[in-house]
Amino acid sequence: MSPTTASSSTNILDFVVHKANGLKGLVDTGLESIPHQYIQPQDERLNTSQILISQESIPIIDVSNWDDPQVAESISQAASKWGFFQIINHGIPLEIVDNLKDSGHGFFSLPNEERKKYWKGNSSTDTVFLATSFSPLTEKVLEWKDYLSFHYIPGDEKSPSLWPPICKDQVLDYMKRAELVIKRLLELLLKKLNVKEIDKEREYALMGSLRINMNYYPHCPNPELAAGIGRHSDVSSITVLLQDDIGGLYVRGIEENSWIHIPPVTGALVINIGDVLQIMSNDRYKSIEHRVIVNGSKNRVSVPIFVNPGPHALIGPLPEVLGSGEAPKYKSVLYSDYFTYFFSKGHDGKNTIDFAKI
């Protein structure tokens, strides 16, 4: 398709979504300006000159000794104050992390026809699909992002044989290591909530379903008008994010209307608390809004692991937290209902967590 036909307004959705070229395919046609479907309303743009950028920064925590009580203390403090922190010396070798990022760039550099095989609906397995934006057929403004999403099932060797060969081993190598980090983090966070042990039922409610996405934010001709991801909180228990060295992730700060940049730190993982842990902790831990801006000249890759409850888990404030007679702020909800609600409403500024509020 020629650049002019791809850019004509009625054809954008058709070219990007129905023809499965993705935003990457659109950008590759040589866009000179952003199509109107991607232009955010003024009040949803992060204008760095209007918005106060906080001087305070999100903690970077060295976890080389997970058993050090100071590590648990720093993590639970950061989870309560910011909802976000970075960890370094987490034990996942830099080579595995770098290979994963490279394989993300590799996948999105494949010819359109190769990538299309994995488009949602075309993919030969439910455990991997390629998609764009958040909910492209229903949302008012599209997000400047494609993503390749994997459902990682520990021990399942069959599904990955149908994953894109260019990144399959890299995802598996990373996930095997990341699982240990996830368990450590959850153990520490839960211990500080007086939960002594994570038994099978709790494990299912905290990490019964693991999803790893490769987000791809192509360079954008008018980055100030677009959003890579609009402001949202994650519906996970925790999210473990690997980002490259480009930057663009902003987190809501404590002062009104302040947004704090999460600077890329080589080898670090960005951890954030999702809605599920905010609910379980009865608001001790915070699931904080965040957003992604895009770059005028560089293609950014980020790789979040959404550590989600299993679909049948009932999510509510933990008895250990309410032990001292504290009133619950949330009712118990079925995780699959929570998740469905999140996707039905889109990134529209409403908080998903209100769905469970008493």
Ligand X SMILES: O=C(O)CCC(=O)C(=O)O
Contacts with Fe ion, residue ranges (CB under 5 A): 234
Can you tell me the distance from the alpha carbon of 216 to that of 252, in angstroms, rounded to the nearest whole number? 22
Residue in the shown chain whose Cβ atom is closest to ligand X: 302
What is the token pair recorded at 170?
């890299």
**Nearest CB to Fe ion, comparing residues 143 and 234:** 234
**Nearest CB to Fe ion, comparing residues 173 and 234:** 234
**Residues 127 and 67 sit within 8 Å (Cβ to Cβ):** no
**Residues 329 and 254 sit within 8 Å (Cβ to Cβ):** no
Can you tell me the distance from the alpha carbon of 259 to that of 237, in angstroms, rounded to the nearest whole number? 22
Q: How far is the CB of 10 from ligand X (least distance, A)?
A: 29
Can you tell me the distance from the alpha carbon of 1 to that of 24, in angstroms, rounded to the nearest whole number? 14
Residue 268 contact among ligand X, Fe ion, none, beta carbon within 5 to 8 Å by kind: none
Q: Which of 296, 305, 324 is nearest to 218 (CA)?
A: 296
Q: How far is the CB of 302 from ligand X (least distance, A)?
A: 3
Residue 83 contact among Fe ion, ligand X, none, beta carbon within 5 to 8 Å by kind: none
**Nearest CB to ligand X, comparing residues 269 and 333:** 269
Residue 237 contact among Fe ion, ligand X, none, beta carbon within 5 to 8 Å by kind: none
**Nearest CB to Fe ion, comparing residues 125 and 295:** 295
Strands (E), 262-355: 269-273, 290-292, 300-308, 314-315, 333-334
Q: How far is the CB of 249 from Fe ion (least distance, A)?
A: 8
Residue 301 contact among Fe ion, ligand X, none, beta carbon within 5 to 8 Å by kind: none
- Interface residue list for ligand X (CB under 6 A): 215, 229, 234, 241, 243, 249, 290, 292, 302, 304
Can you tell me the distance from the alpha carbon of 178 to that of 218, in angstroms, rounded to the nearest whole number? 26
Residue 302 contact among ligand X, Fe ion, none, beta carbon within 5 to 8 Å by kind: ligand X
